[in-house]
Amino acid sequence: MKRGVLVTGGAGYIGSHTAVELTEAGYEVIIVDNFSNSDRNSLEGIRKITGVEPKFVEADCCDKEAMRRVFEEYEFDSAIHFAAYKAVGESVAKPAKYYRNNLLSFINLLELMLEYGRKNILFSSSATVYGDAEVLPVTELTPRKPATSPYGNTKQMAEDILRDMVAANTGKLCGIALRYFNPIGAHPSALIGELPRGVPNNLVPYITQTAAGIRECLSIFGDDYNTPDGSCLRDYIDVVDLARAHVVAIGRLIEERNKQNYEVFNIGTGRPVSVFELVHGFESANNLKLNYNVAPRRAGDVTAVWADTTLANEELGWRAERELIDTLRSAWEWECNVRKQ
Ligand code: UFG
């Protein structure tokens, strides 16, 4: 029988790509999503790509009784927790909304896993935990910085909750936190991808919507940083590569190859790319010109952050493979396709 993996937030951007990779690796995926920041069409996209209808329950992970029914009904020994809010600016304006949703959903899940004897959990963390790091690239031992937004704080707090619950339940709970850098791009089929609601906060959806004529002009937030071209440096990771990191990490837990009960891995490419480089890369990958101007710095942005990926490479046996140009092509193909759906 196929092994089940519960994927909360599995209709969302990273969750849907991970559902595809898990299915293609032979797992049975059970998706829970409440469509608070995702679209039903992504379930159809998963089905079209894999040829398998994903098992799906519409529920809010903060609703413990609804989640209990998922545990009663489905067989799985592992879970991946994507379900969370992620808009940095909104979290500053509505902190309680972020703390309640991001933390309560995770605590519910962990408690139910213990209650029902389900052992393995992957948590979606973020490079945001490193803040403005003094030494680059960042390793997993780079000290975390105090969060600059409630969103960032929920990532740090959830990491700590997982660490402490694993420590208190030896043999019953094993966890891995994956610290994502900047996920971009879409599945090569262009059947699933990122679907921001309203004005995008993140760079690549803003670029693709500008190219599509939905936004008039991209603002590049600052060209006076202490970097080679003055714009910020980030580690942009293809979402399919990122999804595959989940498949290897869940396999590590299932096959008990983990070295500690709680582990942390950076999931990035190890390659810093500036905002200008990304914009020009997008233009040449897709053979088009983008309307952009330089605007003042955005509050809260760090100058540069990119990953030391040695641990993920050596311990997980995983590395990012897709070329940036292909990733930027996939982002545009998705943008062109999504309006037709
Ligand atoms: N940027 C622009 N114009 C835009 C949008 C972004 O110039 O319209 C710039 C930003 O200033 C930054 C870079 O593009 O220099 C990347 O910005 P994103 O908003 O795409 O990504 P961030 O690095 O700010 O944040 C992302 C996720 C967070 C996560 C963080 C971890 O949004 O959830 O990476 O590093 F925590």
107-127 pLDDT, tens digit each: 999 999 999 999 999 999 999
Amino acid identity, position 211: A
Q: Quick one: pLDDT at residue 152?
A: 96
Specify the residue for token string 């139910």: 112
Residues 89, 146: one domain?
Answer: yes
Is residue 316 domain-resident?
no
2 band by pLDDT with thresholds 50, 70 and 90 = confident
- For ligand 1, atom 15: residue with the closest CA: 232
- For ligand 1, atom 10: residue with the closest CA: 221
The rounded distance, in Å, linking the Cα atoms of 112 and 30 is 15
Domain containing 10 equals: 4-184+237-268
In this structure, what is the dihedral angle of CA atoms 28, 30, 36, 38, given to the nearest 10 degrees? 20
Is residue 101 domain-resident?
yes
Domain containing 221 — which CATH number? 3.90.25.10
Residues 216, 67: one domain?
Answer: no
Number of domains in the chain: 2
Q: Quick one: pLDDT at residue 102?
A: 98
Atom of ligand 1 nearest to the CA of 86: 33
> Average pLDDT of the chain?
97
Residues 158, 243: one domain?
Answer: yes
The rounded distance, in Å, linking the Cα atoms of 276 and 231 is 7
Q: Is 219 in the pocket of ligand 1 (CB under 6 A)?
A: yes
Residues 139, 278: one domain?
Answer: no
Tens-digit pLDDT profile for residues 185-195: 999 999 999 99
pTM of the model: 0.98
Question: Can you tell me the mean pLDDT for 265-280?
Answer: 98
- How far does the centroid of ligand 1 lie from the alpha carbon of residue 158, in Å? 21
Question: Can you tell me the mean pLDDT for 35-64?
Answer: 97
- How far does the centroid of ligand 1 lie from the alpha carbon of residue 30, in Å? 30
pLDDT of 261 strictly over 70: yes
Strands 28-33, 182-184: pairing kind? unpaired
Question: Can you tell me the mean pLDDT for 74-89?
Answer: 96
31 band by pLDDT with thresholds 50, 70 and 90 = very high
Tens-digit pLDDT profile for residues 124-183: 999 999 999 999 999 999 999 999 999 999 999 999 999 999 999 999 999 999 999 999
Is residue 189 domain-resident?
no
Residues 245, 225: one domain?
Answer: no
Residues 103, 218: one domain?
Answer: no
- How far does the centroid of ligand 1 lie from the alpha carbon of residue 116, in Å? 38
Contacts for 63 with CB less than 8 Å, ≥ 6 apart: none
Is residue 143 domain-resident?
yes
Residues 279, 245: one domain?
Answer: no
pLDDT of 75 strictly over 80: yes
* CA quadruple 234, 239, 243, 244: dihedral sign: negative
The rounded distance, in Å, linking the Cα atoms of 266 and 277 is 23
Residues 174, 294: one domain?
Answer: no
Distances, alpha carbon 129 to alpha carbons 26, 159, 266, 324, 338, in Å: 33, 10, 11, 24, 32
Is residue 156 domain-resident?
yes
| DSSP states of 195-208 | --SSS--SHHHHHH
Question: Can you tell me the mean pLDDT for 51-55?
Answer: 97
Q: Quick one: pLDDT at residue 33?
A: 98
Question: Can you tell me the mean pLDDT for 70-89?
Answer: 97
Residues 120, 176: one domain?
Answer: yes
339 band by pLDDT with thresholds 50, 70 and 90 = confident
299 band by pLDDT with thresholds 50, 70 and 90 = very high
The percentage of residues in the chain with a pLDDT greater than 90, rounded to a whole number, is 98
DSSP 27: P
The rounded distance, in Å, linking the Cα atoms of 93 and 244 is 34
Q: Quick one: pLDDT at residue 210?
A: 98
- For ligand 1, atom 4: residue with the closest CA: 203
Q: Is 86 in the pocket of ligand 1 (CB under 6 A)?
A: yes
Question: Can you tell me the mean pLDDT for 278-296?
Answer: 98
Q: Quick one: pLDDT at residue 340?
A: 73
Catalytic residue numbers read 151
Is residue 303 domain-resident?
yes
Residues 114, 223: one domain?
Answer: no
- How far does the centroid of ligand 1 lie from the alpha carbon of residue 151, in Å? 14
pLDDT of 337 strictly over 70: yes
Q: Is 298 in the pocket of ligand 1 (CB under 6 A)?
A: yes
If one counts every other C-beta atom within 10 angstroms of the C-beta of residue 197, the result is: 10
Atom of ligand 1 nearest to the CA of 295: 7
Residues 179, 119: one domain?
Answer: yes
203 band by pLDDT with thresholds 50, 70 and 90 = very high
Q: Quick one: pLDDT at residue 219?
A: 98
1 band by pLDDT with thresholds 50, 70 and 90 = low
Atom of ligand 1 nearest to the CA of 152: 36
Contacts for 140 with CB less than 8 Å, ≥ 6 apart: 179, 264, 265, 266, 311
Long-range contacts formed by 47-54: CB under 8 A, 24+ apart: 48/189, 48/191, 49/20, 49/187, 49/189, 49/191, 49/192, 50/20, 50/23, 50/24, 52/23, 54/10, 54/19, 54/23, 54/29, 54/30
Tens-digit pLDDT profile for residues 223-253: 999 999 999 999 999 999 999 999 999 999 9
Atom of ligand 1 nearest to the CA of 218: 8
Q: Nearest to residue 121, comparing CAs of 13, 2, 254, 314? A: 254
Is residue 198 domain-resident?
no
Residues 165, 254: one domain?
Answer: yes
